[in-house]
Structure 1
Amino acid sequence: MKKKKQMQIFVKKGFIAIVFAVAALSSCKKIYNIPDEKDYLSSNVNYSNKVFDPILGRTTLMGGFNGDNSTQPIKFEIINARFGDGRPVSDLFQKKPAYVWIAPYNGLEKSLAEIEAKRKLEEHPLFEVRSSGEFIMWASSTNELIKPRPADSTNFSQDTRYFDVRISNTGGSTVIRDLQVRPFRERPYEPSDDFNIYSGGPAPHPKTPNNPASRNYIRPFLNGVIGATSDIALQSNDDKKDVVVYIRPFTGGTGNSLRFKFLSKDSVAMNPALFNETTWDKIVHGFNMQKTATYVQYDVAYPIPLVEIPTVYAPGGTRDHAEFKYSRIGFGGIRVVASFGIDFAIYKKGDWEIVFHFLKDNPKFEDE
């Protein structure tokens, strides 16, 4: 009992000593006017890149902020947005609904409803700075809301949007000046080899860029696809275009449709059943698959891919991998598998079709 009382007295004395020490320290700070400790803001804070060329219609992160060990949190504010001729910039800061993920997407979702439950629409300026110092151009930006760079590909100062960034914490503030935004017009899909990135019209052939009558096309990959008439491997490159791809809107879908079609050299729809080794449920993260004699169609959520992470549909993360396979008996009785396809992305919601057109020769399906 005596030991217990001694322990209680000891604890009370210790507590009193701590209170006394805190009071003494506070008193000393007042007597000697010692300032409160402030955060550190380095004089070397900067961005590794100050010129941003986002493509409208896509959610794009940009920046590369270097805080040089400055104390967090740091506040970022876009100020003095103006064109090169001094006109104020306001179009970048219009507020529009943008999709924000509230739960992780993993590519295993079983329905459109399950996907949509993982994201929601929030109001955001089309262009803004995040708490990390990164800049974001949201997919809600369009050619109508933000004027893209000129169609003639010029890059005059009066067409360039400049802005400054005020960076601050309790240790002080600084301003980084003359960052630039030079947006490209919307490109609803990739690859966009057939698309003139400045004018939005058809792209000329790369070997005759000054000939407005020439036209470039999207090229698929081809592995062992033999021509039915030529009996040689089909190719798709700058010199030879046996097969080309069109990515284009179609009518009559659900508003969230993606369709795959295959055209013969006579521009007649080919039956997708010909591609008998295709794993149709791995072509795209889609639902309610419809297989007809002229196309295969899915209900999908846009953009495709939804998130830039590796999934079974987009092994590389940035593009969906659509591969179509078929087999036949080759020489010596050996079964030969051929394949073709495209790695693609579609950024704009709607009804889209991806069409493979065999221009000069059809694939050979017959056995040897």
Structure 2
Amino acid sequence: MKKNMQMQIFVKKGFIAILFAAAALSSCRKLYGIPDEKDYLSSNINYSNKIFEPILGRTTLMGGFNGDNSTQPIKFEIINARFGDGKPVTDLFQKKQTYVWTAPYNGLEKSLAEIESKRKLEEHPLFEVRSSGEFIMWASSTNELIKPRPADSTNFPQDTRFFDIKISNTGGSTVIRDLQVRPFRERLYEPSDDFNIYSGAPAPHPKTPYNPASRNYIRPFLNGVIGATTDIPLQSNDDKKDVVVYIRPFNGGTGNSLRFKFLNKDSVEMNPALFNETVWDKIVHGFNMQKTATYVQYDVAYPIPLVEIPTIYAPGGTRDHAEFKYSRIGFGGGRVVASFGIDFAIYKKGNWEVVFHFLKDNPKFEDE
């Protein structure tokens, strides 16, 4: 007990001594006119990348700021935004409402209302710099608000937006010059293999890129899907397109609907019940599932995925993993499970359908 009391007295005396020393140092600074110590601002601060190529319509973080141990907090300010011909840039800084998360999304939410309670609409410039030094292009950006790069894919200076970034703390300031923004036009969904990223027109087939009549398509993954007529595995690649996918709007939803459909080789809708091993409540983070003889539909919040983090619906974080399975009895009496699907994202709110079209042959559902 005595040792503990002695230790407490020692600690208290030490603390008092530190306070006295600090007060004395402060008095000396004032007495002798010694200036307060300034923050450190490194002369080597920079960005690892100075050319930003966001896709409009998506919330995109960009940057790679290296502060080189400069003292925080650091202030960032976009200045002198101009096109390469000197014309001022104003479109990037239009203010629009965009969703901002106020609580963490984890993929375990039980309703659309619970999801919406975790985010709110805030007004932000379409493009801005954050307190971290990162730049952000908000999902509220569109082709109409910000002119995308030219359809012929050129990057002439007069089409390129330049800006400087002023960086400062109490230790001083510096300006990093000639950062660039070269936005791509909106791509409302991924994969977007069927979409020309420069013109917005349908994409030609990669093997005949200069043939305007050729078309490229979104390809699903296929695992053990056997053709009913050919009795060989179906494929979807540059050489053979037995199955393709369309991601497109449809009429008649709630404004927050996502529908999955399946078309056979005659373009007739297939009954989703044929895919008897599918775990339908794990296809997408959706609610109020409707199963019909021609489609399965969910109420969803957009974008899909809502946040780029791994969840049971989007194990990789960046795309939803939709997989459809069915089983049948194979040779030897064993049960064979086949599957197909797509890893996809949709960035614009609306009524969307993901359609799997079996072009050449239907899946084989019959037992051997």
* Structure-1-length-normalised TM-score: 0.95
Q: How far apart, CA to CA, are the structure 1 residues paired with 2:188 and 2:119?
A: 21
Q: CA deviation at 1:34?
A: 1.1
1:250 to partner: Cα distance: 0.3
Aligned partner of 1:244 in structure 2 is 244
How far apart in 2 are the matches of 1:166 and 1:31?
35
Report SS of the residue matched to 2:222.
strand
Per-residue deviation at 1:3?
17
CA 1:294–1:38: 2 relative to 1, 3 Å: same
The 3-state SS of whatever aligns with 1:108 is: coil
**Gaps in structure 1 of 5+ consecutive residues:** none
Measure the CA separation in 1 of the matches of 2:191 and 2:3.
82
Deviation, structure 1 residue 31 = 3.9
SS at match of 1:158: helix
SS in 1 for 2:361: coil
Relative to 1, partners in 2 of residues 1:13 and 1:85: Cα closer, same or farther, differing over 3 Å? closer
CA apart distance, 1:6: 15
Aligned positions, number: 368
Alpha carbons of 1:353 and 1:12: their partners in 2 closer, same or farther (altered >3 Å)?
Answer: closer
Tell me the secondary structure at the aligned position of residue 168 of structure 1.
Answer: strand
Which shifted more, 16-25 or 358-367? 16-25
Tell me the distance in 2 between the aligned counterparts of 1:42 and 1:185: 37
- Cα root mean square deviation, aligned: 2.8
Deviations 1:234-290 (A, max 9, x none): 000000000000000000000000000000000000000000000000000000000
Which deviations, in whole Å up to 9, do the C-alpha atoms of 1:124-145 show, x marking residues without a partner? 0000000000000000000000
Aligned sequence identity (%) = 91
Structure 1 residues 186 and 20, CA gap change in structure 2 (3 angstroms) = closer
Q: 1:34 to 1:192 in 2, by over 3 A?
A: same
Deviates more, 1:96-105 or 1:6-15: 6-15
Note closer, same or farther for the CA distance 1:8–1:311 as it changes in structure 2 (3 Å cut): closer
SS at match of 1:338: strand
Deviating runs (4+, > 4 A) in structure 1?
A: 1-24
Of 352-361 and 28-37, deviating more is: 28-37
1:121 to partner: Cα distance: 0.5
Deviation (angstroms), 1:310: 0.6
Quote the offset at 1:7 in angstroms. 14
**Matched residues in 2 for 1:56 and 1:81: separation?**
18
Give the 3-state SS of the residue equivalent to 1:73 in structure 2.
Answer: coil
**2-structure distance, mates of 1:247, 1:39:** 53
| Residues 290 and 36 of structure 1, relative CA distance in 2, 3 Å threshold | same
Q: Which runs of 5+ in 2 are unaligned?
A: none
Aligned residue for 1:332, secondary structure, equals helix
Say if 2:5 is the partner of 1:2: no
Q: Distance in 2 between matches of 1:206 and 1:181?
A: 28
| CA apart distance, 1:29 | 1.9
The worse-fitting range, judged by mean Cα deviation, of 1-10 and 37-46 is: 1-10
CA distance in 1 between counterparts of 2:313 and 2:182 reads 32
Normalised TM-score (structure 2): 0.95
The equivalent of 1:208 in structure 2 is 208
SS at match of 1:324: strand
